Structure 1
């Protein structure tokens, strides 16, 4: 089941990134970051309500550790999303975005050092192959043009996403409910906190950004919808399986991104991209059968 949730999340994230890239040309980093969560809160609430109608459960018993992980994940995901939007605005975006996908490798290292994650030798092999594949897909032969600032920004983005994922899993493990319910609660609380913080900031510092977002309701809605469905997939998968495995399989997002580029943006697929896709498929197979 974690495999199905991961594939759903990766597919939705590819579309969300494409829509966010479009919006980033018209509004600020904070505005694009807010849009990811703006309508996702009500959708997450409706999803959790539906879960309780389908399978009634008691309300969760929360503790201080749970709220600490929720706050940490919410803040780190805001930072990661903001860094990703900055990558959208760089000329060598493909390379920077590829570096952001270092998330799986960073999650494996941090998870092993600080969160008690246990990976098999094959699991580490899959994570490593996936990292090489993403770098290959992102380079486009332009590594010599890569700036230090892009490297730092991309790795910082990947690290922030990795910490988000690890803290989301830890928060989920604090809730004594079946996996879809505990993932649903974490999702709702994280999104609610993110939306509140970003709305307050924009109202205080960037009110014209809110006006710009109101002028593009269709794009805002598409970003929030794909983001919410993707988050349901990620949060559910990470409540069932260790983060490094989920994120390594989640690198199939690159395949979906190439499909979006080829079919929607009409961009050709290069030879190195086919090789990178083969390596991602190999990494996914290793991770699934670890």
Structure 2
């Protein structure tokens, strides 16, 4: 059951990371905000891995395989795409809606896990995933107060972000299992390698195509540091939890992030909660109970 506290910690950190990304997205483009998630996170991930080896010095170094390398590259690229689409959502609609749409990740991870990753769920697990999906639909506000549907471009961007995040999570879990290391060393190695590769890819691409994006981060060091810090801490939680339990269950419980997001929306961004929000929160709790029992 150790995956539960790691998941709750990850969801809390991710909610704050998204809040800081929303702030930065008002001053920088999607690519720059995406890079802020990784640019200072890799030293923190390296420090975390060093501390683990200092704690258990007898633990051996991993044996990397070609399959592991492919999984690392796939996860790194997929998470970059997912984050860029998430930032684009922040610029299209309000904060809570952007996060809510991208949280289709849990349902997509469950379906992909069953059909492509040999990760079946119990009936209670599926029940939790479905209830969680309904909760996210309510909380994301897919229809405006006047009854007007959300634009198709916004809907597709949100679902695309959720799909990319789901694939990232599934590939991260597979990479951790591929190493076959003792807990939590496999997840820590995957975290360091994924974040390092993402930083190299984003810095290289922006350096060639959009140097001004790098300057925009340099001009706002406070937000950049906060985004990287909360991102790294959240990733430690996610990667560790997914090395212990199936992605669908971790991500369904992780939907409590929406609860944290709404709290931040009210307290930090001064947004109001609707009656639909309260109903969605009740369903989030029910979904969390189902997956913990599963």
TM tier relative to shorter chain: over 0.9
Q: How many residues align?
A: 290
- Structure 1 140/271 Cα, relative in aligned 2: closer, same or farther at 3 Å? farther
Q: Specify which of 176, 188, 191 is matched with residue 187 of structure 1.
A: 191
Flag the 1:68–1:177 CA change in 2: closer, same or farther, 3 A.
same
Matched, 1:159 2:167: no
Equivalent residues of 1:96, 1:151 under 8 A apart:
no
The Cα offsets for residues 16-58 of structure 1, whole Å up to 9 and x where unpaired, read as: 0000001011111111100000110000000000000011210
Bigger mean CA offset, 197-206 vs 83-92:
83-92
Distance 2:142 2:152 in 1: 17
2:265 is the alignment partner of 1:264: no
The 5-angstrom pairing of residues 17-36 of structure 1 reads: 17-36=18-37
2:80 pairs, out of 65, 72, 78, with 78
Q: Which deviations, in whole Å up to 9, do the C-alpha atoms of 1:69-127 show, x marking residues without a partner? A: 10000000000000001101003554443221110000000000000001001110100
**Residue number among 223, 226, 236 corresponding to 1:222 in the alignment:** 226
Q: Provide the residue aligned with 1:113 in structure 2.
A: 115
Secondary structure of 1:145's aligned partner? coil
Superposition RMSD in Å: 1.2
Give the TM-score of the pair, scaled to structure 1: 0.97
TM-score (norm 2): 0.96
Q: C-alpha separation between the residues in 2 aligned to 1:266 and 1:146?
A: 22
SS, match of residue 184 in structure 2? helix
Residue equivalent to 1:65: 67
Q: 1:266 deviation in Å?
A: 2.7
What are the within-5 Å matches in structure 2 for residues 171-186 of structure 1?
Answer: 171-186=175-190
User: 2:29 & 2:199 partners in 1: Cα distance?
Assistant: 16
Shift of 1:140: 6.8
Structure 1 segments (4+ residues) deviating >4 Å: none
Aligned to 1:2: 3
**Partner SS for 1:62:** coil
1:275: which partner in 2? 279
Aligned mates of 2:230, 2:95 — CA distance in 1: 21
Mapped to 2, the partners of 1:93 and 1:212 lie a distance apart of: 21
Q: Does the 8 Å contact 2:95/2:265 carry over to 1?
A: no
**5+ residue gaps in structure 2?**
none
